[in-house]
Amino acid sequence: MEESLTKTLVFQLQSGDERLLSEAYHEARWVYNQTIQLAKDGMDWDDISPRLEDEADLVKNTTQRIVAKALDALQQSYDRDDYNTPSHEKTRPYPLRMNFTEGYNLSLKDDRIHYRISAKPYNPVKGTLRGAPDNLKLLEQALESDDWRVGTAEAMTRNGNHELHVNVTHLEATVQDKHDAQTVVGVDINEDCVALSALREDDIVDSMVIDYPEIKKERHRYFTMRKRMQHAGQTAFDRVFEDKEERYVHDQLHQLSRRIVEWVQQFESPLVVFEDLKHMRDSIDYGTQMNRRLHSLPFHKLRSFVAYKAAFEGIPSDEIDPAYTSQTCSFTGCEHTARSNRRKKRFKCNACGRQDHADRNAAVNIAKKGLEKLNRNVPALNTLPTVRKLRRQASGCVNQPTVTHATVRGHQADGRMGVSD
């Protein structure tokens, strides 16, 4: 079954009444908690919204949307046999969920997108949106084109900033159902490269590693310049350099994501599978310098670019549990898992002795988990094709692979299966 192409665009709210928005978030939290409490007390779900619409200090449409979201979360927990049941004692501010032209409105004027949020009855918050250039351009297109529909939005606070998350849907473009996929492409995103591996139920189809060391190098250069200016007391230039770095990385990731999707398109009915890294930051503590490098990596941005561009080609995406994908030998019959299997970019299994590019090995494991999640058979992998390693900025293979003969199954490096970096 095909699905409509929907994208969530994230913007920052400028020149708004922060006090009024904060009060509205807390009122939304009260509506959410009351909804969960009344449902648990046995009230008919159809009666909850009319009751809270009269009691809450929010516009009725916003109250309806918050109630619907709370009940949906409760229904999902019931479908999972009461696993992770929502609490009715939420303490943090809760997002304002609104319908376009009812709870919020957007308009184009003076080359800017202006917003109007009905935070409370007869007391709107007005201002302009700030965000990534491509997001602003797409939203402008959605507001002006009949091919797009602007849908629900959520106003929320994140990292001390007020944001507006807007859903836009292309009425013509559709995305294939992931359960109809014939080829699963595992994507392993790293600090200086991305590894791709395409698997079907019968065998591995192809694999590739795309290097982009220039992004890491340029980001470190900007970081060094900002630190020097801070030591010199010239903090006024911080934002200027931060904007330059953001624009550079943004452009590079767009080019990289385009290259990835072009590679994925060659396969029959592909599904792109990523690692679920939502809680990665909570578990990382490798010291000040390494924490800074890892916490600031644009993993989510690259993933969103790839998923979005793939969706425009009708290609769905999914995510899997990332546990041990980089430490497990991808060979069938071995699958030995140990942290010592990986040393930088080299993967050498302590059990079977196989060597591989560490990120390609991880991408194969991601693809295998993607097949398992679809309840498909995982192919028996006893050999892997030679890694093809590309530099993104070049038109060809300028960073030669360790093994230079033809990329075919069964070729080995120095008597070992696979290839070392």
User: Which tens digits make up the pLDDT trace of 349-394?
Assistant: 999 999 999 999 999 999 999 999 999 999 988 888 888 787 655 3
- Asked if 270 and 185 count as a contact pair (C-beta separation under 8 A), the reply is yes
Based on the number of CB atoms within 10 Å of its own CB, is 328 exposed (0-12), middle (13-18) or buried (19 or more)? buried
Based on the number of CB atoms within 10 Å of its own CB, is 148 exposed (0-12), middle (13-18) or buried (19 or more)? buried
Of the candidates 120, 121, 33, 105, the one whose C-alpha atom is nearest the C-alpha of residue 70 is 33
Helical axes 18-40 vs 45-55, angle rounded to 10°: 150
Sequence length of the chain is 421
pLDDT at position 278? 66
**Range in 35-49, 286-300, 384-398 with the lowest mean pLDDT:** 286-300
Instruction: Tell me how far CA of residue 227 lies from CA of 216, 223, 232, 238, 243, in angstroms.
Output: 17, 6, 9, 9, 15
The pairing of beta strand 183-189 with beta strand 112-120? unpaired
pLDDT at position 96? 94
Average confidence score pLDDT of the chain: 82
The pairing of beta strand 183-189 with beta strand 193-199? antiparallel
- Asked if 106 and 140 count as a contact pair (C-beta separation under 8 A), the reply is no
Which pTM was predicted? Answer: 0.63
State how far the Cα of 19 lies from the Cα of 178, in Å rounded to an integer.
43
